[in-house]
């Protein structure tokens, strides 16, 4: 089934699509583009009525809504939308490569993702791996949150697929927002800034880091303010066990992340480092005493230097492991690679590292 067949079916549903066009690009696949001369801010671009939503049916209790949709996608043979989905590549590329050589933070998140994937796989055994994988990622990459008004608060029970809406690509500087309008019972896309003719329509899926985008969707962004970098491992090298226990007792341990969009270190990180210079009078809520401030600044530098060394070491190991694949890229023109979105698979590690490397070095003054 090709795009034209899908679009002619979709047009027969009566939805007004006069403001948008579907077209394909090599970097982000299909997407929606404006076909109006100029779209003003706060303009209703597209309205998709509820009768088009594909919702989970919940006729077997031990499956989540997500899993019901997997089965629906695999069983439904006539729906033109599902037929079209079968022709779209939706499986993140990393699934085809061995992934034990990635940096630890990526591996940890991949494991969580794979655990969830396998939980569903083990409940739905009647399809082969390829079929299951296609259905799983079609839903994972395309579904939207939708309150099913059942008793479950589980997000896997409150989602649906909305044909056509699912052509919209993600951006950290989106030009639209989309939301369900309970009065019109439609999912609507509104402009949040003016949009030129042929400009791509985008919204923010979620404030996802590159690691999350890479795992869940198979792409990354070269400038992503939502990149985050967990520093637990570095703190374990920097603080004593007793100091770590103090941080944990205040529930600070899970809040120890750098965000690449932030200009400064967070309060929790500053307080964690401060423990290293003054444990006896430490309180998580007070500013460091003026006497300690100078010392604290030096401790910060020391800590950031440690992170920098760890990143360099990890990165060096990673380059060695990927030497054959990345030889030319890494040694010929590293910076160009950062902006070349056609290299999806390994670039995420490079960009994520470079991001934090830059962030950390900018803090060491
Ligand atoms: C909801 S679908 C959007 C439509 C999709 N591009 C298609 O071809 O059908 C989400 C998928 O689009 C791609 N995508 C979305 N935003 C992207 C972006 N900013 N850069 C690259 N790929 C993107 C990813 O493959 C993602 O899994």
For residues 99 and 180, membership in a common domain is answered with: yes
Quote the ligand 1 centre to 72 CA distance (angstroms): 22
For residues 34 and 154, membership in a common domain is answered with: yes
For residues 162 and 267, membership in a common domain is answered with: no
Residue 201 has pLDDT above 90, yes or no: yes
For residues 94 and 243, membership in a common domain is answered with: no
Residue owning the nearest CA to atom 27 of ligand 1: 217
Domain boundary among 173, 207, 241: 207
Tell me which DSSP letter residue 333 carries: -
Residue 221 falls inside a structural domain = no
Relative to beta strand 195-196, strand 38-39 is antiparallel
Q: How far is CA 43 from the centre of its chain?
A: 27
- Map tokens 């990526």 to a residue: 106
For residues 50 and 191, membership in a common domain is answered with: yes
Quote the ligand 1 centre to 219 CA distance (angstroms): 8
Residues with CB under 6 A from ligand 1: 27-31, 88, 141-142, 166-167, 169-171, 217-219
Residue 87 belongs to domain spanning:
3-207
Q: What are phi and psi of 119, to 5 degrees?
A: -60, -45
Residue 51 has pLDDT above 90, yes or no: yes
Number of domains in the chain: 2
pLDDT band at 31 (very low <50, low <70, confident <90, very high): very high
pLDDT digits (tens, 9 = 90+) for 101-139: 666 677 888 899 999 999 999 999 999 999 999 999 999
For residues 115 and 263, membership in a common domain is answered with: no
Residue 343 has pLDDT above 70, yes or no: no
For residues 38 and 184, membership in a common domain is answered with: yes
User: Which CATH number do you get for residue 121?
Assistant: 3.90.1410.10
Quote the ligand 1 centre to 29 CA distance (angstroms): 6
End-to-end CA distance of the chain: 58
Residue 235 falls inside a structural domain = yes
Determine contact, residues 94/218, Cβ cutoff 8 Å. Answer: yes
For residues 238 and 148, membership in a common domain is answered with: no
Quote the ligand 1 centre to 164 CA distance (angstroms): 13
ipTM of the complex: 0.99
Domain boundary among 207, 242, 267: 207
For residues 31 and 142, membership in a common domain is answered with: yes
Residue owning the nearest CA to atom 13 of ligand 1: 28
Residue 212 falls inside a structural domain = no
For residues 126 and 78, membership in a common domain is answered with: yes
For residues 120 and 80, membership in a common domain is answered with: yes
Residue 154 falls inside a structural domain = yes
Ligand 1 atom closest to Cα of residue 166: 1
Query: Across all residues in the chain, what is the average pLDDT?
Result: 85
pLDDT digits (tens, 9 = 90+) for 263-315: 778 888 888 999 988 888 888 888 877 777 888 888 988 998 888 888 777 76
Q: Which residues of 315-331 are buried (b: 16+ CB within 10 A; e: fewer)?
A: beebeeebeeebeebbe
For residues 309 and 352, membership in a common domain is answered with: yes
Residue 217 falls inside a structural domain = no
Determine contact, residues 87/2, Cβ cutoff 8 Å. Answer: yes
Mean pLDDT of 218-243: 86
Residue 152 falls inside a structural domain = yes
**pLDDT for residue 46:** 98
């Amino acid at each position: 089934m090709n795009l034209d067949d899908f679009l002619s079916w979709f047009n027969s549903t009566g939805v007004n699509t006069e403001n948008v066009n579907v077209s394909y690009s090599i970097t982000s696949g299909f997407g929606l583009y404006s076909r109006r001369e100029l779209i003003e801010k706060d303009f209703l671009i597209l309205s998709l009525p509820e009768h088009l939503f594909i919702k989970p049916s919940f006729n077997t209790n031990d499956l989540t809504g997500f899993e019901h949709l997997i089965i629906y996608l695999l069983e439904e043979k006539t729906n033109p939308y599902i037929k079209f989905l079968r022709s779209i590549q939706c499986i993140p590329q990393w699934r085809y490569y061995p992934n034990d050589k990635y940096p630890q933070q990526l591996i940890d998140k991949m494991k969580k993702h794979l655990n969830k994937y396998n939980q569903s796989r083990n409940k739905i055994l009647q399809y082969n791996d390829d079929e299951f994988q296609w259905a799983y990622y079609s839903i994972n990459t395309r579904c939207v949150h939708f309150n099913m008004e059942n008793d479950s608060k589980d997000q896997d029970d409150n989602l649906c697929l909305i044909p056509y809406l699912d052509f919209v690509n993600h951006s950290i500087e989106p030009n639209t927002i989309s939301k369900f309008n309970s009065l019109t019972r439609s999912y609507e896309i509104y402009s949040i800034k003016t949009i030129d003719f042929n400009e791509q329509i985008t919204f923010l899926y979620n404030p996802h880091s590159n690691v999350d985008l890479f795992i869940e969707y198979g792409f990354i962004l070269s400038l992503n303010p939502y990149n985050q970098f967990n520093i637990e491992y570095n703190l374990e090298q920097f603080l004593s066990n007793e100091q770590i226990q103090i941080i944990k007792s205040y529930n600070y341990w899970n809040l120890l992340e750098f965000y690449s969009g932030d200009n400064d270190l967070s309060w929790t990180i500053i307080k964690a480092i401060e423990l290293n210079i003054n444990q006896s009078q430490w309180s998580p809520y007070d500013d460091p005493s003026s006497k300690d401030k100078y010392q604290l600044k030096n401790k910060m530098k020391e800590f950031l230097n440690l992170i920098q060394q760890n990143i360099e070491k990890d990165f060096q190991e990673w380059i060695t492991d990927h030497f054959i694949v990345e030889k030319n890229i890494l040694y010929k023109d590293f910076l160009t690679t950062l902006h070349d979105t056609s290299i999806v698979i390994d670039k995420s590690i490079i960009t994520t590292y470079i991001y934090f490397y830059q962030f950390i070095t900018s803090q060491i003054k």
